Structure 1
Amino acid sequence: MIKRYTEDQQKIPMETLEKVYPDIKENIQLIQKPGEDNPVFTPQDNKAWLLAKIWVRNSDFNYHELVSHLLRTHLMAEIFFIASYDMADQHPLSRILRATGRYTLPINITARNTLINKGGFFEEYTAIGNEQWEVLKKATEKITYESLCLPDNVKQRGIDKLKNFHYRDDGMDIWDAIYKFVRGVVNRCYKDDEDIQKDPELQEMVMFIYNYGFLQKSDCPSSLKTREEAIKYITMIMFTCSAQHAAVNHGQYDIYAWMPNGPTTMRKPPPKNKEVTEKDIMDTLPDITTTLEAMKVASFLSQVPNDFVPLGEYPEEVAYESHMRDPLMEFKSTLMGIGEKIRKRSACQEFPYEYLDPAGMENSITI
């Protein structure tokens, strides 16, 4: 969504505009460059406003699926998992990190063969067309370490004060729970910061991710110098592969089964004026074949695997290791409390937000 006032509006004091146009802060301009054939749409524009919002949702769909979902969870998780696999089985962190990659490689291979391949879903049924790799390349260049760390991301985006923002609130609860769990494990395995610096397998994993995931960006870690740095880094990996993926994955069918709420593509160009009819809207929305294909993909990606393993569940031989046992018991208890709080809130909501209920997310990206 692009917020921009017309040149005439920019000359008028905002307080005057707000009296004349009470919804002036809600506006959409669909193309960056101002012009007579690129109007600013507002809620007073009736069906033109509706069509403008549908265009925004079309952009949101493509960005969400290709960048927020595929790139920033699936593909980053693949890098994390491959990087961790060089750790020895006896390494105290290896089995925690490997659990974050269960089934991720197979599902990513499926995506490469059916969604982002030549003739696949994105090329045939979305506005991205055959530019998906170019979009992924540009988006990868913009990934930062802090953008994957929820507390930093919240501050950077200025969304820390928004009311009723359940993704932020539930996500922060889960981030804090993971952080506390990882801290308990790390502090039992490493007696001081020097131990972290002298762990070649952990440092090699971070360097691999720095090279192939963060593309050697200067603001991304290439090594870990303290226990606190290691705790935050491992928390970032676990959060990305569990809660962040759940947030962008679990609601796909709920959101996109109603095509106007997230059209994959549009059959006509953006409106050049505000004379929009219902027929214009219907002629712009995708056809029935594209709609059914999108619903099928959204339904498939919202499925839960038969051998679902919830966040915080590990095999007995891992769970009962000395450095794992107490932190893991506390972690499970905290996650249970978060779930209870979410379900209690849901009882008072017409449309409950439950995508970050820990009972419904896995340690890893499996779908």
Structure 2
Amino acid sequence: MMTSRAQSGANWVQGSCWPPALWWGWMNCSSSRMETYKVTVTTGDMVHSGTFDRVFITLVGSEDRSERTVLSTEGQDLSSGMVMELAVSAPDLLGDLLFVRLDKEQCFFLPDDDWFCSKVEVTTPSGETVLFPCYRWVSDKWAVELREGKAKKVFEDQHPILIQQRTGELELCHNLYRWAVFREGLPKMVGIDDPALLPHDARFSFTKAMDLLVRSKTALDELKLRSLADRKKPWTKWEDIKRIFWFNKTMVSGYVQKHWEEDWFLGYQCLNGCNPVVVQRCCQLPPNFPVPSCLVNPFLEAGSTLEKELLKGNIYLCDYKVLDGITPNLINNRLQYMVAPLCLLYKKTSDQLVPIAIQHTAIGGIGLIEILERAVQSLTYSSLCLPEDISARGVESVPNYYYRDDGLCLWNSINRFVKGMVKVYYPDDNAVVKDTELQSWIKEIFTEGFQERPESEIPQSFTSLEEVTKFVNMVVFTVSAQHAAVNSGLFDFSSWMPNSPSSLQWPPPITKGSTTMSDILKALPDINTTVRLMATTWLLSKQPSDFVALGQYPWEHFIEDAPCRLILELQEDLAALSQKIKERNAQLELPYTYLLPELIENSIAL
């Protein structure tokens, strides 16, 4: 979360990043006296973390450096989870330990075998133990330099070696991660054609890569759908759809299959389904949706009218204008159809939200890239901040909106944590302004990510603790809770395909009351398209094998008392929220579980 180089623990280097005069001139290697430092090195416990290559360690202090000491020789395995203790000799006392350098040489008869180091602990001759978090890969090309776990901002580095090392690491990162234009108007991408050229840390872990590969290969088998994957024929019987669904349903998808035709359940999905961020209070009908009162008044409370309900605040709108004009695909050599609906919803006295009017707009002539461009152009900072988004959509009081209720609780818990963390490392606004790395970070996000669009509201600089807290809060919430809210329920709401078909083979009806169940069946995707949708949503919704829940920090990046205490407070906060959600869910016919803290991954995993 923090931008401090020290906080991240490890820095990549390609060779030495200091001029020879600095590297050698300040060292005093003439003394014949030898001092011994006790070093404990921990190899990560992930698959393939170990190595058979030769690994070396060097301790660098403010007064001197140690000998380059071998951790393992050729053919001696630094195996996964292994803890190695060794003595490292130095010509004299090193002074304050500045960092630890790890590098590796390939075994001459084996391919390059990267090594994952979790941490290094050094006990000085005086008995002081210093922790150097790593959690990085060490390769022949990318040596690693580890600072002590205590964070330092750029203006707090005083020693010339630390200043030069920090500058060199930034220059190396700038050379590695160059920006490239994917398409004008869209956020820029990393300018690299082959991910294998990136440092190992920037790639999928072996565990995650294999997990994704195996799951993608076995999805159809696990869902018992392999035999249907190549059938390009349309569905002819509802019973056939029910038959493939029966083997793969969850508690929620079974509920969806039972209630998908009911009006109130469409309203429920607008609030708590896979896209709960579109619904908004409607105080005035949009010009492109001129709904005659006479058509909807029969669906309102007796004696009421559309105009009265608009004034009361009981009318809501879902506008999917971002889909207007999309060119649909050809699937199985048949043109598909897509609509950009406007849906008017009414809050009944029973607190149910039900549709009272739906308008399907015409399809047109643009594609996926244009959807992305529209989304980027409409994206604002406030829409990414849940409290502001809820207020802007006017849905503060709509009942049974569990995404909002749980989301705001999570937002507040994350905010308390982030506020405390920021205060630990930035005691006042002046510290924020002085941190040139922090300022460069937010400037680059504005420039390269949001294309310098002032209307995006993304800050170009930080001037206060409050501004930093808000932005980091937004980032943490977006990549954890928000992702869980829109991703975790994909299989639940889409596996009963008629509830959420991925495409339509017939255009939408233009006459009310003219559509039969047979017409709906003809419009649904073909058999192979259906089963691939089920496999895809199953894959996206399945919890990965290396899942880490929100608020959990298995890697010891934070070593100071204050941040460790804040982590414990966050975990207690999330545990209390989890209990509160479970107590509410116990009273619900359909529990809302997607924002249970223990089911939220700490960051987007795909």
TM-score by length of 2: 0.42
Unmatched tracts of structure 1, length 5 or more: 33-39, 44-48, 60-126
Q: 1:19 to 1:5 in 2, by over 3 A?
A: farther
Q: Distance in 2 between matches of 1:41 and 1:286?
A: 23
Q: Distance in 2 between matches of 1:236 and 1:153?
A: 12
Work out which of the two has the higher radius of gyration on C-alpha atoms and give 1 or 2: 2
Q: Which has the higher contact order (CA 8 A, sep 6+)?
A: 1
Q: Distance in 1 between matches of 2:426 and 2:317?
A: 53
Q: Distance in 2 between matches of 1:30 and 1:187?
A: 41
Q: Distance in 1 between matches of 2:295 and 2:537?
A: 45
- The residue identity in structure 2 corresponding to 1:330 is E
Aligned length: 282
1:310: which partner in 2?
Answer: 549
- The residue identity in structure 2 corresponding to 1:348 is Q
Unmatched tracts of structure 2, length 5 or more: 1-278, 280-285, 307-314, 325-341, 346-353
Q: State the Cα deviation string for residues 141-164 of structure 1 (Å, max 9, x = none).
A: 111011111111111111111112
Q: 1:174 to 1:17 in 2, by over 3 A?
A: closer
2:599 equivalent to 1:360: yes
SS at match of 2:557: helix
Q: 1:270 to 1:27 in 2, by over 3 A?
A: farther
Q: CA deviation at 1:308?
A: 1.0
Question: Greater strand share, 1 or 2?
Answer: 2
Percent identity, aligned pairs only? 36
- The residue identity in structure 2 corresponding to 1:166 is Y
Q: Distance in 2 between matches of 1:148 and 1:26?
A: 21
2:481 equivalent to 1:243: yes
2:126: which partner in 1?
Answer: none
Q: 1:13 to 1:365 in 2, by over 3 A?
A: closer
Q: State the Cα deviation string for residues 147-195 of structure 1 (Å, max 9, x = none).
A: 1111111111111111121101111111111110011111111121011
Q: Distance in 2 between matches of 1:358 and 1:330?
A: 14
1:121: which partner in 2?
Answer: none
Aligned equivalent of 1:258, options 491, 496, 499: 496
Q: 1:27 to 1:21 in 2, by over 3 A?
A: farther
Q: State the Cα deviation string for residues 11-70 of structure 1 (Å, max 9, x = none).
A: x799799578989769999999xxxxxxx9999xxxxx99x97x97xx9xxxxxxxxxxx
2:560 equivalent to 1:321: yes
1:294: which partner in 2?
Answer: 533
Aligned equivalent of 2:506, options 262, 268, 281: 268
Q: Which residues in structure 2 correspond to 1:1-367 (within 5 Å)?
A: 4-6=289-291, 9=292, 18=300, 131-218=367-454, 219-274=457-512, 275-367=514-606
Q: Distance in 2 between matches of 1:288 and 1:128?
A: 26
Contact 1:177/1:331 (<8 A) preserved? yes
Contact 1:30/1:270 (<8 A) preserved? no
Q: Distance in 2 between matches of 1:233 and 1:42?
A: 34
Q: 1:273 to 1:28 in 2, by over 3 A?
A: farther
Q: Distance in 2 between matches of 1:272 and 1:264?
A: 21
Q: 1:14 to 1:317 in 2, by over 3 A?
A: closer
- The residue identity in structure 1 corresponding to 2:462 is L
Q: Distance in 2 between matches of 1:189 and 1:217?
A: 30
Higher mean displacement: 236-245 or 218-227: 218-227
Extract structure 1 runs of 4+ deviating beyond 3 A: 1-6, 12-32, 40-43, 127-130
Q: CA deviation at 1:318?
A: 2.1
TM-score by length of 1: 0.68
Q: State the Cα deviation string for residues 275-318 of structure 1 (Å, max 9, x = none).
A: 22222111112121111111111000001111111111124522
Higher mean displacement: 330-339 or 12-21: 12-21
- The residue identity in structure 1 corresponding to 2:425 is C
Contact 1:23/1:42 (<8 A) preserved? no
Q: Distance in 1 between matches of 2:319 and 2:572?
A: 48
Q: CA deviation at 1:231?
A: 0.5
Contact 1:319/1:328 (<8 A) preserved? no
Q: State the Cα deviation string for residues 100-159 of structure 1 (Å, max 9, x = none).
A: xxxxxxxxxxxxxxxxxxxxxxxxxxx999821111111111110111111111111111
Q: Distance in 1 between matches of 2:473 and 2:320?
A: 38
- The residue identity in structure 1 corresponding to 2:435 is D
- The residue identity in structure 2 corresponding to 1:4 is F
Q: Distance in 1 between matches of 2:318 and 2:564?
A: 53
Q: Distance in 2 between matches of 1:298 and 1:283?
A: 23
